[in-house]
Amino acid sequence: MSFRIRLPEGIDTPTVVVDLDVLDHNVATWAQRFADRGVGLRPHTKTSKCPQIVARQVAAGAVGLTVATLGEAEVLADAGFDHLFQAYPLWAGRDDRARRLRALHERVDLMVGVESAEAAAALGVAVRGTDRALPVLVEVDPGMHRSGVLPADVAGVARAALDAGLDVRGAFTFGGHGYGLCDAPAHAADDEVAVLSAAAEALDGLGIVPAVLSAGSTPTAQLSARPPVTDERPGTYVFHDHQQVTLGVAGWDEVSLCVAATVVASHADGRFVLDTGSKALASDRPAWVDGHGKIPAYPDAELRSLSEHHCVAWTTGPRPRVGEVVAVVPNHACTVVNLVDELTIVRDGEVVDVWPVASRGRNR
């Protein structure tokens, strides 16, 4: 393995560690890939939740920033970022939610997702009387069967949004079913392009020329970055993780985040235990991923089970000793980041900074 993260001597555990050079490489490389294709990058910031990382993405040329919640948008607005898109079918039918939406709309360039006439009406009421219409994108289902409407229903949602006084800018989709199997990203990317093409036709029938046709997840983004897509919304690419390596999206040398763990037990039968349970590694484990993460220094080891504070691993190869500190690459970096208050930033095995996970827990 060409894993590049070197853990600092004496680091306490469990600790989420980010290698600054690898992080900057990922930010710059992905920005250039999409610039070369003439497709914008609107990175999803739910991955890092960290203003210092977001600032690097903006400096690399991001056309905007994606958030999952109003809380995440508020944190970014407070940090001075503009051009925010909440890629979620926001429900503004509660007084407090409507008030927060209105306040954000009045202070930053905010765009939100919509996929029903009911939600469109509530959004319109929330921002009624402001000096400009709230921009929205209609969410289209690419076959993931989560939120989003079928292409045949895009015109109806868009018409309801116009009736509510909203500014329909285009459509968006998320090919999250690209995580279903190792060979799924290419098919999911084709689905994204197909439904956005159909959405563009539906909007054109209403006299709306879509300025934004947004797609993407980290596995599909490079595959769906083609007409009519105008921008992509990957998030995990700044860190990568065991999933992305398994899917072939990244190599081990592009993984910038790991969890430092201490071996607290090691047995002759090949079993050893780390102090990084589900509260440090999270519990995500797709069927096509081997174990609950990977230890690059011990590639034969399988992280078989997690308790809250124990990770039980087994190996038929070399086994780490009690007290040894190892780097664990988690299956899903996004959920791991949301478990901690800060990221320990390293370069060449030395701590160079500590960055806050500023929007941790901002799920509303």
Mean pLDDT value across the chain: 97
Mean pLDDT over residues 188-205, rounded?
97
Residue 120 binned pLDDT confidence (cut-offs 50, 70, 90): very high
Q: Where are the domains of the chain?
A: 21-238, 243-356
Mean pLDDT over residues 229-240, rounded?
98
**Could you tell me which of 169, 284, 178 has the C-alpha nearest to residue 230?**
169
pLDDT of 183 strictly over 90: no
Percent share of the chain, pLDDT over 70: 99
Q: Are strands 325-328 and 257-266 parallel, antiparallel or unpaired?
A: antiparallel
pLDDT, tens digit, 9 for 90 and up, residues 253-304:
999 999 999 999 999 999 999 999 999 999 999 999 999 999 999 999 999 9
Q: Residues in the chain, how many?
A: 364
pLDDT of 182 strictly over 80: no
Angle made by CA atoms 262, 303, 50, in degrees to the nearest 5: 65
The answer to whether the Cα torsion of 78, 84, 90, 91 is positive or negative is positive
CATH of domain 243-356: 2.40.37.20
pLDDT score at 276: 97
Residue 1 binned pLDDT confidence (cut-offs 50, 70, 90): low
Q: What is the 3-state secondary structure (H, E, C) of the chain?
A: CCCCCCCCCCCCCCEEEEEHHHHHHHHHHHHHHHHHHCCEECCECCCCCCHHHHHHHHHCCCCCEEECCHHHHHHHHHCCCCCEEEEEECCCCCHHHHHHHHHHHHHCCEEEEECCHHHHHHHHHHCCCCCCCCEEEEEECCCCCCCCECHHHHHHHHHHHHHCCCEEEEEECCCHHHHCCCCHHHHHHHHHHHHHHHHHHHHHCCCCCCCEEEECCCCCHHHHCCCCCCEECCCHHHCCCHHHHHHCCCCHHHCCEEEEEEEEEECCCCEEEECCCHHHHCCCCCCCCCCCCECCCCCCCEEEEECCCCEEEECCCCCCCCCCEEEEECCCHHHHHCCCCEEEEEECCEEEEEEECCCCCCCC
pLDDT score at 181: 75
Contacts of 103 (CB under 8 A, 6+ apart): none
**Could you tell me which of 121, 119, 81, 72 has the C-alpha nearest to residue 100?**
72
Q: Does domain 21-238 have CATH number 3.30.70.2700?
A: no
**Could you tell me which of 86, 62, 61 has the C-alpha nearest to residue 74?**
86
